[in-house]
């Protein structure tokens, strides 16, 4: 580790300069786009199912001026049961689209990307770090952290879909109180709620999730290869373009210990910042 101390200043500046020369310090632009695209496709299919139900099937009975359609044909009847039936139906549609293991692909790729970046930073600093991300992910410390992130990403998206569903049910309740609204207008209203509270926020969660998982993997690896033994810190870097928010710009160049760095990035939704090892 003595060689590390003697090369501190040059390495710290070089790593920072290299990152700023890149448009994306996390090197995850393509991964984020792929994750966002997957979220968008799934929400689009939900929207298509809603349109088919409300417009093509007229299941709410709005096209003919009725306030109760197929969903109201329950033993109790009435708009209240229409809302319950719609909620149950929508829950099933969303579960079919968003449940399962499909997020694992993106979360795993983000964590492995972070491990690979940290390996490169460590080697540049003279620290041997040649184990592949695939191998590292089989080891308990890394695997446990990855699984924790996977669970959190699933929970975040679950909350997102539930919030969107609740907003759509509330909107339908308002629609059923307005006789002038037909099936086409009702569909537009519901689609707006789905887009605003579901798709747009889901896409932001995907972008933010990749950055969060990737940066945590960087910290995990830097700590594991021994940087904490030389009192390392982590330099906060930004992309350096006009899209950098004032909050991130103000923190650029500050130094944190690895312990202090935990949870700092992402700073906000869709944050694009990344950690680099800082060597004095």
- Domain residue ranges of the chain, discontinuous segments joined by +: 2-278
Q: Name the nearest CA neighbour of 106 among 38, 204, 199, 162.
A: 38
Q: How confident is the model at residue 262 (pLDDT cuts 50, 70, 90)?
A: confident
The pTM (predicted TM-score) of the whole model is: 0.83
Read off the pLDDT of residues 60-101 as tens digits, 9 standing for 90 and up. Answer: 888 765 555 555 453 334 445 788 889 999 999 999 999 999
Q: For residues 170 and 80, what is the distance between their CA atoms, to the nearest angstrom?
A: 11
Which residues is 274 bridged to in the sheet? 237
Read off the pLDDT of residues 177-226 as tens digits, 9 standing for 90 and up. Answer: 888 889 999 999 999 999 999 999 999 999 999 999 999 999 999 999 88
């Amino acid at each position: 580790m003595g060689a590390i101390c003697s090369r501190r200043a040059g390495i710290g500046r070089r790593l920072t300069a290299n990152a700023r020369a890149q448009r994306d310090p996390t090197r995850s632009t393509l991964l984020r786009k792929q994750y966002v695209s997957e979220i968008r496709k799934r929400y689009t299919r939900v929207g298509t199912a809603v349109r088919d139900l409300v417009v093509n099937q007229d299941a709410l009975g709005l096209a003919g001026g009725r306030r109760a359609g197929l969903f109201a044909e329950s033993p109790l009847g009435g708009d209240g049961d229409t809302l319950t039936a719609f909620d149950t139906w929508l829950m099933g549609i969303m579960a079919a689209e968003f449940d399962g293991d499909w997020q694992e692909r993106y979360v795993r790729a983000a964590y492995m990307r972070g491990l690979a970046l940290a390996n490169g930073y460590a080697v540049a600093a003279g620290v041997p770090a040649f184990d592949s991300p695939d191998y590292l992910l089989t080891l308990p410390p890394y695997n446990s952290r990855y699984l924790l992130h996977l669970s959190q990403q699933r929970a975040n998206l679950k909350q997102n879909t539930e919030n969107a569903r609740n907003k759509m049910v509330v909107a339908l309740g308002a629609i059923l109180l307005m006789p002038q609204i037909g099936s086409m207008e009702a569909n537009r209203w519901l689609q707006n709620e789905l887009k605003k509270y579901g798709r747009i926020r889901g896409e932001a969660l995907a972008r933010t999730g990749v950055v969060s998982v990737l940066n945590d993997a960087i910290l995990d690896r830097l700590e594991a290869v021994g940087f904490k033994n030389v009192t390392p810190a982590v330099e906060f870097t930004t992309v350096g373009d006009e899209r950098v928010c004032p909050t991130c710009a103000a923190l650029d160049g500050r130094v944190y210990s690895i312990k202090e760095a935990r949870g700092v990035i992402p700073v906000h939704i869709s944050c694009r910042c990344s950690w680099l090892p800082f060597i004095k």
